[in-house]
Amino acid sequence: MKRREFVLSNAAFLLQARTIKDNLIIRSDSPADFETPVQLLDKGWITSNDAHYVRSHLSVPNVELNNWNLTVEGEVNRPLKLTMRDIRGFQEVTRTVTLECSGNGRAFADPPVAGLQWEKGAVGTARWTGIPLRDVLMKAQVQPNAKHVILNGADMPIRAVPDFVRSIPIEKAMHPDTILAYRMNGAALPVLHGFPLRLIVPGWEAAASTKWIVNIQISEAEASGFFMQTAYRIPNRPIAPGTLVDPKDTIPYTALSVKSIFTSPLDGAMVPMGSSIQLRGFAWAGEADITQVDVSTDAGSTWNIAVLDNDKARYTWRRFRYLWKPPAAKSFVVMSRATDSQGRTQPMVASWNPSGYLYNVADKIQINVKG
Ligand SMILES: Nc1nc2c(c(=O)[nH]1)N[C@H]1C(S)=C(S)[C@@H](COP(=O)(O)O)O[C@H]1N2
Ligand SMILES: [Mo]
């Protein structure tokens, strides 16, 4: 193991954080909540480390690797206390995963909902390298009554905000693609993204992917507390916009929905008449695959099949492209609508929920063609 890559000085951390902040839209300065502008997502299938969105509920912990351990306890025969050297001793794997915050698109909720007003860019795709969570659980010898894996990071409760403790069901935890990652796009995991170790739960809304992980508790029950029992839950049935929902009528939000966004041109772009322009963006569907993306240049009256790029992995977005020659010098409403391997298609109207989770209405941008 190369020790140096894990020795991050305070100065290095501040520099890393500053570069990231310069690139991104600051939804909240503290805690660190930064959104990626779509023109940065447009740069490629992989989102670079200093362009990937950041979502944190609490202060970012600056973990000293020398004092760092991952403890595994609860319903296991062999509780573990692992160092980073121990972690590096397991079989290394890399998974390319699109992470999306469940609140992405919340800004478009109608009626409006409280919370960070994410627009389109609380989403990104990275190559995560680490070890399967499964291998650690096997080593600890999980007992047969185990149903949930509760994860806790080094971030601490502040003022009114409780500790960020969440759980995933044992089946997802034991899936070989669920990993404890220590690298992001080949580099040491950036502090804002969970240094030195984070969970990646592919295909699921990203709140499942615990950052700065220090403790794993194997349990018969789901995690208790606000971030599992109140937040990240959706109504268990359709509700009328603006309705209050009792937490007991909700279920945890797990796998992501089918969704697409335009990354070029930008909403409101001015383009000259007479030339062709490429309309492009990304489409993703959590644990499912994108099978088709349709683009409309007439506000949804007629649809055309977009071309999908070859870059893909099991849990990633795919880029779509559609070449279009505007037929007139006027404003056009251009839309994208993705369909996935589970037969799901993006809705044209949002199904409202009180927290504005899983907003996935067909995307819409305006393009102004100048004669
Ligand atoms: N420990 C810890 N893990 C966390 C969070 C947090 O606040 N604390 N935020 C979660 C949420 S809501 C999201 S969307 C993702 C964001 O990961 P990123 O910042 O690497 O994009 O981290 C998740 N993991
Ligand atoms: Mo999130």
For residues 141 and 284, membership in a common domain is answered with: no
For residue 205, give the ligand 1 atom closest to its CA: 14
Give 4's pLDDT tier (boundaries 50, 70, 90): very low
d(CA 196, CA 64): 9
> What CATH number has the domain bearing residue 336?
2.60.40.650
Q: Cα dihedral sign for 81, 86, 92, 98?
A: positive
Among all bound ligands, the one having the nearest atom to the CA of 36 is 1
End of a domain among 231, 246, 268? 231
Residue 240 lies in a domain: no
Ligand 1 atom closest to residue 102's alpha carbon, by position in its atom list = 14
What tens digit of pLDDT does each residue of 301-311 get? 999 999 999 99
Instruction: Say how many Å lie between the CA of residue 141 and the centre of ligand 1.
Output: 28
- Domain assignment present for residue 237? The answer is no
Region of residue 242 (phi > 0: left; psi between -120 and 50: alpha; otherwise: beta): left
Residues 75 and 218 in one domain: yes
Owning domain of residue 316: 259-370
Both 13 and 81 in a single domain? yes
Same domain? 24 vs 117: yes
pLDDT value at 5 more than 50 = no
Q: What percentage of the chain reaches a pLDDT higher than 70?
A: 97
Q: How many domains does the chain have?
A: 2
Residue 254 in any domain: the answer is no
The two structure tokens encoding residue 188? 């040491």
Question: If you measure from the C-alpha of residue 102 to the centroid of ligand 2, how many angstroms do you get, rounded to a whole number?
Answer: 5
One-letter amino acid identity for 51? A
Bridge pairing between strands 290-296 and 331-340: antiparallel
3-state secondary structure of 85: helix
pLDDT tens column, 235-286: 999 899 988 899 889 999 999 999 999 999 999 999 999 999 999 999 999 9
163 C-alpha to center of ligand 1: Å? Answer: 12
**Which of 213, 231, 249 is the last residue in one of the domains?**
231
Domain CATH for 99: 3.90.420.10
Question: Ligand 1 atom closest to Cα of 192?
Answer: 19
Residues with Cβ < 8 Å from 313, sequence gap 6 or more?
95, 96, 97
Mean pLDDT of 320-344: 98
Establish whether residue 54 lines the binding site of ligand 1, counting it when its CB lies within 6 angstroms of any ligand atom: yes
Query: Are residue 221 and residue 267 in the same domain, yes or no?
Result: no
Ligand 1 center to 208 CA (angstroms): 8
User: Which residue lies with its CA nearest to atom 23 of ligand 1?
Assistant: 207
Ligand nearest to the CA of 102: 2
168 & 306 share domain: no
Q: Is 209 in the pocket of ligand 1 (CB under 6 A)?
A: yes
Task: State which of 231, 250, 285 marks the end of a domain.
Answer: 231
Q: Which residue, judged by its Cα, is nearest atom 16 of ligand 1?
A: 55
251 inside domain: no
In this structure, the answer to whether residues 301 and 159 fall within a common structural domain is no
- Is 131 inside any structural domain? yes
For residues 216 and 365, state if they share a domain: no
State how far the alpha carbon of 192 is from the alpha carbons of 66, 172, 197, in Å.
19, 25, 11
What pLDDT is stored for residue 69 in this prediction? 98
Please state, rounded to an integer, the average pLDDT across all residues of the chain.
95
**pLDDT higher than 50, residue 2:** no
Q: Is the CB of 53 under 6 A from ligand 1?
A: yes
* Residue 203 shares a structural domain with residue 337: no
Q: Is 106 in the pocket of ligand 1 (CB under 6 A)?
A: no
Q: How far is CA 361 from the centre of its chain?
A: 17
pLDDT for the residue 10: 66
Distance 211 CA to ligand 1 centre (A): 6
Q: Is residue 191 part of a domain?
A: yes
Q: Is residue 106 part of a domain?
A: yes
Atom number of ligand 1 nearest to Cα 151: 1
Residues 200 and 273 in one domain: no
pLDDT score of 8: 56
Label residue 111 exposed, middle or buried (CB < 10 Å: 0-12, 13-18, 19+): exposed
Q: Which atom of ligand 1 approaches the CA of 232 most closely?
A: 12
Q: Whose CA is nearest to atom 18 of ligand 1?
A: 54
pLDDT in tens, 95-118: 999 999 999 999 999 999 999 999
- The answer to whether the CB of 198 is under 6 A from ligand 1 is no
Indicate if 226 and 280 belong to the same structural domain: no
175: pLDDT strictly greater than 80: yes
Whether residues 157 and 272 share a domain: the answer is no
Which are the contacts of 343, defined by CB distance < 8 A and separation ≥ 6? Answer: none
> What are the tokens at 288?
């499912």
Residue 241 within a domain: no
